[in-house]
Amino acid sequence: MSTETAPDGDTVPKIEVTETAAEQALALLDGESLDANEAGLRLFVQQGGCAGLSYGMRFDEAPEDDDTIYEHHDLRVFVDPASLNYIEGSVVDYETGLQGAGFHVENPNVVSECGCGESFRT
């Protein structure tokens, strides 16, 4: 199931979360002392990194009034308006490999990334 809710009821830019990413996030959220019915994963963009911008993720108790709320595979994802401009059309996945495991954002708006892959430019 996938739903999106914009604060003003307008058309919502698409952001996807894979089932694997949702399962991993829900497992981590389960270890937090938050109400699973209200809480969610906040996905945001911040200044930083050698390419200028970087992704951030954290759990929040509830969405802010101006957040767009996505729900994928029972995981609620909150995105603020400023961040949404940078990550529209992105897919959040959870990857495992020789270098470790973690969440990865595949962002179609990126024009360049730093060598370590931790920051980007749009």
Domains of the chain, start order? 2-121 (2.60.300.12)
The overall average pLDDT reported for the chain is 82
Query: Between 120 and 46, whose confidence is greater?
Result: 46
- First-residue to last-residue Cα distance in the chain: 29
Give the CA radius of gyration of the chain. 14
At 27 the pLDDT is 93
Cα distance between residue 26 and residue 21, in whole Å = 8
Of 108, 104, 84, nearest to 20 by C-alpha is 104
Residue 1 pLDDT level (bands cut at 50, 70, 90):
very low
Residue 108 pLDDT level (bands cut at 50, 70, 90):
confident
Query: Between 114 and 65, whose confidence is greater?
Result: 65
